[in-house]
Amino acid sequence: MNKKIPFSPPDISDKEIENVIEVLKSGWITTGPKVKEFEEKLKIYCGVKNVILLNSATAGLFLCLKVVGVGEGDEVITTPYTFAATSNVILHCGAKPVFVDIGDDFNISLTTIEKAITKRTKAIISVDFGGFPADYDEILSLCKKYGIKYISDSAHSFGAIYKGRKAGLIPDFTVFSFHAVKNLTTAEGGAIVFNSDDEEILRKLKLLALHGQSKDAFTKYNTSNSWYYEIEEIGYKFNMTDIQAAIGLAQFERYEKEILPRRKAIFNIYNEILNKENFILPPFKTTEKETSYHLYALRIKNIGEEIRNELIKRMAEKGISLNVHYIPVVMHPAYKKLGYNITDYPVSYRTYISEVSLPVYSKMKVEDAEYVAKELLNTLIELKVL
């Protein structure tokens, strides 16, 4: 029997389970004290002034675009090398996604962003692919030059390092995801973090996240004779529950000590075994940046789409789950219908057809990572790629 190596199972310890039980027994299960506590911890961790927890990163990206005022007729620049959430929210605002191809670190290419800026551009959303930070300072200064806002899709990069600080500090808004496959999970969840003194932005985000209601349920519950509230804006329903925050608080406690170092150890094993001529290893550390070790995105030289797909199939037969990050957004039917064409993004296409993501998760054993890397090499020999 082969070993079964999943791609990215969640790492839930007794601590998460105890925390959830405590909340379930507490009498308060939706947004309340646990969400507040988690927000305060994230503020300190990211070194930012404001955090708002939500039910997903998608909701967070959407709300950021809303408070920036993105609407009909506007353009938002982003990368095609991402999950569709990044660009779907632009379309939900009635605006047009303008895709800019990536560079060789999988992230939006700085050299081509400026050419894509027009009078209609309202914002740029970069993606920290695989947990490796985008060029925050450079993108922010471009945004300042043209009077547009900078939103970072940091769904992958909670805990990543940029110039000695945690991701979250530099862009106008940074959005993390706590979805089940992400580094730190609340099952479903997300956060917007930002370092502005403008209290109005936080107020507006909180309002929009909960139907535009002037008081949330917990405030009403805790204030006497406080049945009265007003709907100040036509808002949405994006709040995080205390049950989710309870999972997040346990994950957070284990994150720096346990979860992140273990992911890093898996990366190191892959880097050692796969440090070969035929591979391009994922970016993970430079003098200015360090990844959050979210995805081990390996590029294989001279492979091509067909053999890459065969590789994934054969590895699956051996019990090893690989993945591809990403099918460029513009290759999906819904985006093709809007007129986008992958031939306009040659680096994204080249990257896509040569990429496989290897399993990385905090409970993964060192032997399992060695097994994956060795089976990968064997299979590539079978396929005459090596």
Ligand X SMILES: *Cc1c(COP(=O)(O)O)cnc(C)c1O
85: contact with ligand X by CB under 6 A: yes
What long-range pairs does 133-139 form, CB within 8 A, spacing at least 24?
A: 133/157, 133/160, 133/161, 133/162, 133/167, 133/289, 133/291, 134/107, 134/108, 135/107, 135/110, 136/162, 136/170, 136/171, 137/163, 137/170, 138/110, 139/108, 139/110, 139/113, 139/171
Alpha-carbon distance of 286 to 284, in angstroms, equals 7
Does 153 engage in binding with ligand X (CB under 6 A)?
A: yes
Q: Pick between residue 303 and residue 329 the one whose CB is nearest to ligand X.
A: 329
Kindly write down the DSSP assignment for every residue of 332-371, as one continuous string: SHHHHTTT--GGG-HHHHHHHHHEEEEP--TT--HHHHHH
CB closer to ligand X out of 85 and 269: 85
Q: Does 177 bind ligand X (CB under 6 A)?
A: yes
Taking the least distance from each CB to ligand X, the nearer of 155 and 202 is 155
Closest approach of ligand X to the CB of residue 74, in Å: 20
x/- binding map, residues 4-43, to ligand X, per CB under 6 A?
Answer: ----------------------------------------
Q: Which is nearer to ligand X, 85 or 148 (CB)?
A: 85
Site string for ligand X, 184-223 (x = CB under 6 A): ------x---------------------------------
Per CB under 6 A, the list member of 23, 53, 57, 380 interacting with ligand X is 57
Of residues 66, 149, 179, 263, which one binds ligand X by CB under 6 A?
A: 179
Pairing of strands 50-54, 75-78: unpaired
Instruction: Compute the least distance from the CB of residue 306 to ligand X, in Å.
Output: 26
* Segment near ligand X (CB under 6 A); pick from 52-60, 252-260, 280-288, 297-305: 52-60
Q: Which residue has the tokens 């299960």?
A: 29
| CA angle at 121 for the pair 116 and 124, rounded to the nearest 5° | 75
Q: Which stretch binds ligand X (CB under 6 A): 1-9, 130-138, 150-158, 315-323?
A: 150-158
State in angstroms the smallest separation of the CB of 153 from ligand X: 5
* Residue span 328-347 as binding mask against ligand X, x where in contact by CB under 6 A, dash where not: --------------------
Contact call for residue 160 and ligand X (CB under 6 A): no
Interface residue with ligand X, options 82, 186, 292, 354 (CB under 6 A): 82
Number of residues that bind ligand X (CB under 6 A): 14
DSSP three-state, residue 51: strand
Among 127, 191, 246, 269, binds ligand X (CB under 6 A): 127
Q: How far is the CB of 295 from ligand X (least distance, A)?
A: 9
Name residue 279's beta-bridge partners: 300
In b/e form, how buried is each residue of 354-385, taking b as 16+ CB within 10 angstroms?
bbbbbbbbbebeeebbebbbebbbebbeeeeb
Q: Return all residues near 283 (Cβ < 8 A) that are at least 6 apart.
A: 105, 106, 130, 132, 289, 291
Tokens 């040569």 — which residue?
354
Binding region for ligand X (CB under 6 A): 56-58, 82-83, 85-86, 127, 153, 155-156, 177, 179, 190
